[in-house]
Amino acid sequence: MEDTNINFSMETLETDDVKQIPAQGELTPRQIVAELDKYIVGQHEAKRCVAVVVRNRYRRRCLDVHLQEDILPKNIIMIGPTGVGKTEIARRLAKLVDAPFIKVEATKFTEVGYVGRDVESIIRDLVETSIRMVKAQKVAQVEDKARQAAELRILDMLQPLPNRRSGSVPFASIFGDKVPSSHEESTSDEEAKAKRDEIRRRRVWLRDQLSKGALDKEQVEIEVEEEPPKMAMGMEEMGIDMQGILGSIMPKKTKKRKVSIAEARRIITQEEAEKLIDNDEVTHEAIERAEQGGIVFLDEIDKIAGGEGGHGPDISRGGVQRDILPIVEGCTVMTKYGPVKSDYILFIAAGAFHLTKPADLIPELQGRFPLRVELDSLNCQDLRRILLEPRHSLIQQYTELLKVDGVDVHFTEDGIDALAEIAHKVNCNTENIGARRLHTVMEKVLEDLLYDAPEAASGQVDIDRAYVEGKLSTIACDEDMSRFIL
Ligand SMILES: Nc1ncnc2c1ncn2[C@@H]1O[C@H](COP(=O)(O)OP(=O)(O)OP(=O)(O)O)[C@@H](O)[C@H]1O
Ligand SMILES: [Mg+2]
């Protein structure tokens, strides 16, 4: 039996079934965690978990297609209190692997028939994101070409080619006597040739000026396509592209606009890029990417857990879960770009699960989220590190912001200690909102400085323990006050 198995896989491997290794699979789990470490402090277990799942998708894609079909993604539930990095991990991860990503709140969805969003819109939004990503990439690929084409079009506007007979020379009217003009009607062949040469010379000169950006501020009149009026959204929901249908029936309206050459270059480059990219290819690639690489972050999943057989609004919780189920389990959703399969889309659910447990989800849904990972609540040390370590940390952000107005803030070690301690203390005494507390604390500490700069504050300001406590200690010690202010 084993032998046949091996033969089978060897045989299929030799055919062309093996998919090309995608670029996004390059990061190994360890590398993914190392990248996430640059932005998120701690939560190692959650990072490991998502890293493995993402790598598994890449591993799967290197297998033979028949086997691929049977390997479904292992969806994750992240369990942890608010503000400890659940969303941040998912968001950074999606950026890292360049995957189409959307974040949705599970509580936004309703059972079919009730007012609210229907769950299929998750997949539609994901495809929309994917289309945008693929399109941006394609546009970037053709940008040079499109820019050249645009400059040529602008050049033609400023100085049409010699064989075209046009009464006025727009270029001359714009630049006046900067360049010698040739208005005299030529009759003899020689004169005609001289004129053509002159125009050519002028085009060469203009082209050079254009590409140097020397004419960017001059005005030109261009024709731009008018945006078709936005249609009612209802049709979207059914996967019908009314916009597209109407757009192809109705003639495109254009209008004239006077814009600077820089702006004209931007608009025309866009138009040219649009012509250069193949929209069918974009759609095809985007759907493939959404299906195979898409990540859906289902936030607040705990809020729809439980409630089976309950009263009032609870009744619909089970219903929403049951509606989400087919999407998570794998189904085909009609979108305006065509049918999209949700089978291999990765779902990362997250919730605090204070009042409910993952076991309160309906069993079918539990089964589709086999990976559970808990995030730790943040202690004082974690908060201190979050202030300092992540790329573009809060401290760095405020330092740079104030630098703009000539204030050189310097956070001392004991000042940072004090910030973390107070944030932690307020988290313990009132609601624990995790790292979000740092935002309120920082805002409060720097409130005056942010207001006073640049008139009443400048030069170096040390934010040390005394400074922090001076601004905060009365508030932080009073529970009621900190409830309102921090
Ligand atoms: N471990 C961490 N390291 C660095 N920054 C963090 C960490 N945890 C939270 N933050 C910061 O705190 C803010 C809130 O984090 P995030 O949105 O990830 O919270 P969450 O866990 O999704 O909470 P909620 O359950 O309320 O959605 C973000 O600005 C994030 O950068
Ligand atoms: Mg969140």
Structure tokens at 106: 């599970």
Residue 324 in domain: yes
Contact (CB, 8 A) for 74 and 56: yes
Candidates 39, 43, 82, 84: which one to mutate for ligand 1, based on the most atoms within 8 Å of Cβ?
A: 84
Contact (CB, 8 A) for 215 and 209: yes
- Of the residues 351, 374, 397, the one at which a domain ends: 374
- Of the residues 249, 282, 315, the one at which a domain ends: 282
CATH code assigned at 387: 1.10.8.60
Ligand (nearest to CA of 81): 1
DSSP per-residue codes, 147-211: HHHHHHHHHHHHS--TTS--S--HHHHHHTTSS----SPP-SHHHHHHHHHHHHHHHHHHHHHHH
Residue 325 in domain: yes
How far is it, in rounded angstroms, from Cα 173 to Cα 166? 13
Residue 475 in domain: yes
Q: Do residues 24 and 116 both lie within one domain?
A: yes
DSSP per-residue codes, 96-164: HTT--EEEEEGGGB--TTSSSB-THHHHHHHHHHHHHHHHHHHHHHHHHHHHHHHHHHHHHHHS--TTS
| Domains contained in the chain, number | 3
Residue 416 in domain: yes
- Of the residues 262, 282, 302, the one at which a domain ends: 282
Residue 167 in domain: yes
Nearest to 328, CA basis, from 289, 287, 366: 366
Q: Do residues 342 and 212 both lie within one domain?
A: no
Q: Do residues 116 and 45 both lie within one domain?
A: yes
pLDDT tens, N- to C-terminus, the chain (486 residues)? 333 343 333 333 333 333 344 444 478 999 999 999 999 999 999 999 999 999 998 899 899 999 988 898 899 999 999 999 999 998 899 888 888 999 988 888 766 556 666 788 899 999 999 999 999 999 999 988 998 888 888 888 888 876 645 444 555 445 544 444 445 444 678 888 888 888 888 888 888 888 888 888 888 888 877 766 555 555 555 555 666 666 666 666 778 888 888 888 888 898 889 889 898 999 999 999 999 989 999 988 888 887 554 444 545 677 778 888 888 888 999 999 999 999 999 999 999 888 888 888 888 888 889 999 999 999 999 999 999 999 999 999 999 999 999 999 999 999 999 999 999 998 998 888 999 999 999 999 999 999 998 888 888 999 999 999 888 877 767 767 777 777
Residue 136 in domain: no
Which residue has its alpha carbon closest to ligand 1 atom 12?
A: 435
How far is it, in rounded angstroms, from Cα 285 to Cα 141? 15
Q: What is the CA radius of gyration of the chain?
A: 30
Cβ–ligand 1 distance for 86 under 6 Å, the answer: yes
Q: Do residues 331 and 394 both lie within one domain?
A: no
What would the 3-class secondary structure string for 278-330 be?
CHHHHHHHHHHHHHHHCEEEEECHHHHCCCCCCCHHHHHHHHHHHHHHHHHHC
- pTM to 2 decimal places: 0.76
Ligand (nearest to CA of 377): 1
Q: Do residues 107 and 183 both lie within one domain?
A: no
Q: Do residues 186 and 274 both lie within one domain?
A: yes
Structure tokens at 146: 């499109």
Residue 81 in domain: yes
Cβ–ligand 1 distance for 88 under 6 Å, the answer: yes
Question: How many Å lie between the centroid of ligand 2 and the Cα of residue 361?
Answer: 19
Q: Do residues 176 and 263 both lie within one domain?
A: yes
Q: Do residues 273 and 151 both lie within one domain?
A: yes
Ligand (nearest to CA of 385): 1
Q: Which domain holds residue 79?
A: 12-131+286-374
Cβ–ligand 1 distance for 85 under 6 Å, the answer: yes
Structure tokens at 374: 């808990």
Q: Do residues 254 and 324 both lie within one domain?
A: no
3-state DSSP call for residue 85?
A: coil
Contact (CB, 8 A) for 276 and 121: no
Candidates 43, 76, 88, 440: which one to mutate for ligand 1, based on the most atoms within 8 Å of Cβ?
A: 88
How far is it, in rounded angstroms, from Cα 326 to Cα 315? 19
How far is it, in rounded angstroms, from Cα 65 to Cα 69? 6
Question: How many Å lie between the centroid of ligand 1 and the Cα of residue 384?
Answer: 14
Q: Do residues 391 and 454 both lie within one domain?
A: yes
Q: Do residues 278 and 387 both lie within one domain?
A: no
Cβ–ligand 1 distance for 351 under 6 Å, the answer: no
Residue 2 in domain: no
CATH code assigned at 105: 3.40.50.300
3-state DSSP call for residue 65?
A: helix
Burial 23-36 (b: 16+ CB within 10 A, else e): ebbebebeebbebb
How far is it, in rounded angstroms, from Cα 256 to Cα 222? 6
How far is it, in rounded angstroms, from Cα 374 to Cα 370? 13
Q: Do residues 79 and 111 both lie within one domain?
A: yes
pLDDT of residue 167: 45
Question: How many Å lie between the centroid of ligand 2 and the Cα of residue 121?
Answer: 20
Cα separation values, 288 from 131, 144, 293, 343, Å:
10, 27, 8, 12
